[in-house]
Amino acid sequence: MARPILYDYARSSAAYRIRIALNLKGVDYEQRLVNLLEGEQQGDDYRSVNPQGLVPALEIDGQRLTQSLAIISYLDSRFPMPPLLSTSIVDRAHVTGMALAIACDIHPLNNLRVLRYLTGTLGIDEAAKNAWYAHWITDGFAALEALAAPRAGDFLLDNSPSMADVILVPQMYNARRFNVPLDAFPTLVRTDANACAIEAFANAHPDRQSQGA
């Protein structure tokens, strides 16, 4: 297999998810920097890789894949061990539901392009922008805590990391970066700490990327 190419940006949480998943699967990959702060994701070069103009994209097996959850699901089929999605359809629905509670209901609202629309087009000030950011994390984490607590162990489902943990860790990083209080979410704090202690998660951290965070 040719070495997969990840179109990456250190602080992109969606790219961070893919770095974790590739590391967990033990897949060596090449990183290509797409500088979001310089707008490279909207340039024609990158749009020819991903018409959405969003990172990440992954070139693998002669395909160009987009959307981080679709990529993780592909990687989980392609490299089955360790599994990130259970073979039990009930457990898979639970893990996917927790992942989507972040990927649909928190993360898109706090994306760079959305924050720019708020401060640019809508003229929202910095304090209101930060309140917006914290609001969707706090609201979303409260729901996720309730969803996760009954079946969580060391990780969000039982005692091994799943796709839900892969999605949680970058969102916790964002929450801390914006000083969102996390005391009300003990299950999330505990499972995040356990995940971050694993080398595959730790090596995917924005501060550990050669391009810097």
Binding site for its own copies (CB under 8 A): 47, 51-54, 61, 63, 65-67, 69-71, 73-74, 77-78, 89-90, 92-94, 96-97, 100-101, 103-105, 107-109, 114, 117-118, 121-122, 124, 128, 131-132, 135, 142-143, 146-147
Tell which residue, 211, 212, 195, has the closest CA to residue 17. Answer: 195
Tell the smallest beta-carbon distance from residue 128 to its own copies (Å).
6
Tell the smallest beta-carbon distance from residue 208 to its own copies (Å).
26
Tell the smallest beta-carbon distance from residue 17 to its own copies (Å).
12
- Whichever of 121 and 210 has its CB closer to its own copies, that residue is 121
- Whichever of 156 and 209 has its CB closer to its own copies, that residue is 156
SS3 for 59?
strand
CA distance linking residue 17 with residue 9, whole number of Å = 11
| Residue with the two structure tokens 């998660």 | 201
**Residue 190 DSSP class:** H
- Whichever of 30 and 61 has its CB closer to its own copies, that residue is 61
Sequence-distant (6+) residues with CB within 8 A of 92 are: 85, 86
Tell the smallest beta-carbon distance from residue 115 to its own copies (Å).
12
Do 54 and 35 touch, CB atoms closer than 8 A?
A: no
